[in-house]
Amino acid sequence: MTDSESDSMMEDVNFLSDISDESGEWVMVEQEMESLDLNGERSDCECSSPESDSIKKEMQSLHLNDVLEIVHQKPNPVGEFTRRIMQTRGTCIEEVVREHVLPLLPAKSLCRFKAVCRGWNQWISSPFLAHKQAMLFQRISGFFCQKPGYGCHFIPLDPKTHGMRDPYLTFMPGPVNIRSICNGLLCVQGVDDTYYICNPVTKYWKMLPNPSFYHGPGTVISLAFEPSMFNFTENFELVCAVPVTDAGCIVFEIFSSRSRTWRASDDICFELANATFIGDACYRDGSAYWVVDCGVILVFNLKIDHYSIIQLPDGSCPNGIVTEMHGELCYVAVLREGADLAIHIYGGMDMNSRHRICIPWACPGNVLRQVRLMGCVDGDVLLVSIGDAVISHCVSTGETRMLGVDRMRGECTMMRYLPYVNSLVDVNELPELCDNLESMEFRP
């Protein structure tokens, strides 16, 4: 190997590592998104010789199926991309960016990049890119804020890259209440208790058939959607924990987009018949988690169709949230300690104490009800709403930043915050419900 070839290979490795670092960094609101220079010189692509021409003819481009195989099977997809790209010496920088960088971007940026050229417009509009982007881009883009009733709005962490044209969901057939969010899809419920699945970026939605049980006010739901190589049709499930007061139990009713039907699980919970669910569900690794007021977390595993109960830590209160931090399931709660407030983070199935964060910057009077936990971003940054201020706190570094003010909150103390991923995930049509389906095309 010559020195020039070695230098060229190192350029490829550095290029891919820069992409990985950028995609893994959490971008704050105050920061501007760095632009990617597509005019970089690649001497090995521009040079022409009989030997290089023969090599180019033997090289094969990296197709979508190869990318999906890499992401599913390899623990380090970026390193595998580097190896494949170094083999494909005839690939130009534009093809590398289109194949490997665009799927790592949020949906709003992709819609803007349709204007680059006709080829990019066709690629970004294809279902293949939508599937890759839904599978590779899973960073929290912002939060849907829901007031009691049917008023909601979206707060992006970066309006330039993570915003959407209709943050109030006015494209829906009527007022809706957000019930659950999972990997870019929303489950909302209308005034007539009908469930809908929608993507607020593309503004496509579909109506689900009515369940067999009556889903009263005490019913909690969790949307289960996992983008993966084998889930190209973007199938999902909706698991509902339905209290049946007459029978003194909780029944789990599940809707599957594959069968387009509801079914009731054989596993019935009798221990929590009179309990009240608090907050919103958290879906992780095939299981749905709900916090219960009696100091436990109800878990339903969709893979084995079985429920279980996790005891909350001693001394904690059931007003916290279940989230994922540092790759493990965590329970985060706000506790009063004398005249101060502190955020306690418990992790693992045994719910041991992981971190304690003091809140000296709390609202005047340190009123507990004015402090709202919004969720975790990138597994390490905790977002908290204090009054109408939105604050981020990095658990590993202890850095705290003021992100902005939620002026839509007003005096509401029952605001809900649901994390959302800016995704192009497609919402498939149900054939038997196509007459009730209405869609609008999203234009950047």
Mean pLDDT over 74-86 rounds to: 57
Using 50, 70 and 90 to split pLDDT, how confident is the model at 63? very low
Is 279 within the bounds of a domain? yes
Q: Closest Cα to residue 99, out of 115, 79, 119, 75? A: 119
Task: Please report the pLDDT score of residue 388 as a whole number.
Answer: 75
Same domain, 246 and 123: no
Task: Please report the pLDDT score of residue 30 as a whole number.
Answer: 36
Task: Please report the pLDDT score of residue 387 as a whole number.
Answer: 76
Same domain, 270 and 201: yes
In this structure, which long-range contacts are made by residues 388-391, counting pairs with CB atoms below 8 Å and at least 24 apart in sequence?
389/363, 390/155, 391/361
pLDDT of 27 > 90? The answer is no
Task: Please report the pLDDT score of residue 182 as a whole number.
Answer: 92
pLDDT of 54 > 50? The answer is no
Using 50, 70 and 90 to split pLDDT, how confident is the model at 371? confident
Rounded Cα gap, residues 375 and 154, in angstroms: 14
Is 331 within the bounds of a domain? yes
Is 397 within the bounds of a domain? yes
Is 40 within the bounds of a domain? no
Give residue for tokens 């349709």: 114
Using 50, 70 and 90 to split pLDDT, how confident is the model at 88? low
Same domain, 127 and 195: no
Say which residue, 107 or 62, is predicted with more confidence: 107
Under the phi-then-psi rule, with left for phi > 0, alpha for psi from -120 to 50, and beta for the rest, what region is 378? left
Is 205 within the bounds of a domain? yes
Mean pLDDT over 358-374 rounds to: 64
Record the tokens describing residue 100, joined without a space: 């490997």
Q: Closest Cα to residue 409, out of 145, 202, 216, 193? A: 145
Stated length of the chain: 444
Give the DSSP H/E element, type plus range, for residue 314.
Answer: none
Same domain, 347 and 366: yes
Q: What residues are paired with 310 via a beta bridge?
A: 297
Say which residue, 185 or 404, is predicted with more confidence: 185
Task: Please report the pLDDT score of residue 53 as a whole number.
Answer: 46
Same domain, 314 and 364: yes
Say which residue, 336 or 441, is predicted with more confidence: 336
Task: Please report the pLDDT score of residue 229 as a whole number.
Answer: 76
| Candidate ranges 185-189, 407-411, 427-431, 440-444; pick with highest mean pLDDT | 185-189
Domain count, the chain: 2
Same domain, 315 and 421: yes
Same domain, 9 and 119: yes
Rounded Cα gap, residues 266 and 252, in angstroms: 8
- Output the domain CATH number for residue 170: 2.120.10.30
Same domain, 126 and 252: no
Is 47 within the bounds of a domain? no
Mean pLDDT computed over every residue of the chain: 75
Same domain, 223 and 87: no
CB 280 within 8 A of CB 223: no
Assessment of whether the complete model's pTM goes beyond 0.85 = no
Which region among 97-106, 122-131, 300-309, 358-367 has the lowest average model confidence (pLDDT)?
A: 358-367
Single residue among 136, 168, 197 that ends a domain in this structure: 136
User: Can you give the residue range of the structural domain that contains 280?
Assistant: 142-436
Is 218 within the bounds of a domain? yes
CB atoms within 10 A of CB 213: 16
Single residue among 116, 136, 156 that ends a domain in this structure: 136
Same domain, 344 and 380: yes
Same domain, 195 and 302: yes
Single residue among 109, 136, 163 that ends a domain in this structure: 136
pLDDT tens digits, one per residue of 309-341: 999 988 788 788 999 888 888 999 888 777 778
Which region among 1-5, 174-178, 225-229 has the lowest average model confidence (pLDDT)?
A: 1-5
Is 28 within the bounds of a domain? no
Mean pLDDT over 417-429 rounds to: 82
Same domain, 149 and 285: yes
Mean pLDDT over 117-144 rounds to: 85
Which region among 18-32, 183-197, 366-380 has the lowest average model confidence (pLDDT)?
A: 18-32
